[in-house]
Amino acid sequence: MLLILMAAASYTLPAQTTPNSSSAVVKKGTKYDTIIRKHVDKPVVKAKPAQKPVVQEVVPPVPEFVNQPCYYDKNGNKLIMLETTTAQLVTKKKTLGLKGAKQFFSMDGMTSKVRFITRDSIVFFIKTSGDVIDLTSYIKLYKFIPEDQKREVTVTTKEGLLNDKDDEKGKLITMSVKPISKDNYRIEFNGPLDAGEYGFVWVKNMDLKEFSVYAFGIDWKNSN
């Protein structure tokens, strides 16, 4: 009997485990998370046209006083007053009239206090009182020659028996006048002015002996 019980014990099957048992081994498969999103088309944004840069219009200044030419500083958009002085109209016979006679403007000082250092063409502005028809017949620009502590320029000459043109001094400068607004004008030249002494002279009445002059000097820049 004892032998039969021992044999039965040796053939006992192992205990089955259930999934709920704490010792159970569960093989888990790979998990995949799937997110479903609805496709929404983005609105088409049109590119804005490139804006043109705003160019601010430069308004030229207006001279404060009438009939006084002013130098126009285009870099600073401002006006610079010239030297205000007077010139005497002198009539002189040459060699007792044998070489004719001449009239010339003469003003004190060999140089002007107002000077511009440039090789470029320069511009002047002038405001009139409104009664000017042809400005170039009222005002002239002369290049004066320094001599004996004065600045002089020959205005007219009268021929004699012996002509002496070498005695003439200075010269009349050709200029153009353009209106920029009512009673305001822009004075320009064909090219750069030579270095030297200059003066605007009012010649409306040549019967006078003394004339108003607005003088300036030009010193050319050193190219070095």
Give the model confidence (pLDDT) of 120-155 as tens digits: 889 999 998 877 668 888 899 999 999 999 999 999
Q: Is there a domain that residue 19 lies in? A: no
- The amino acid that residue 90 corresponds to is V
- Cβ-contact 179, 190 below 8 angstroms: no
Q: What is the DSSP string of 13-72?
A: PPPP--TTSTT----PPPP---------PPPPPPPPPPPPPP-PPP-----SSBT--EEE
Q: Is there a domain that residue 40 lies in? A: no
* Prediction pTM value: 0.70
- Cβ-contact 124, 141 below 8 angstroms: no
- Cβ-contact 168, 154 below 8 angstroms: yes
Q: Is there a domain that residue 48 lies in? A: no
* Token pair for 185: 């004008």
Q: In the predicted model, what is the mean pLDDT of the chain?
A: 80
Q: Is there a domain that residue 22 lies in? A: no
Helix (H, G, I), strand (E, B) or coil at 198: strand
Q: For residue 130, what are the CA distances in angstroms to 61, 72, 182, 184, 185?
A: 18, 21, 8, 9, 11
* Token pair for 67: 């009939």
Domain of residue 78: give its range: 70-219
Q: Confidence band (pLDDT; 50, 70, 90) for 169?
A: confident
Structural domain tally of the chain? 1
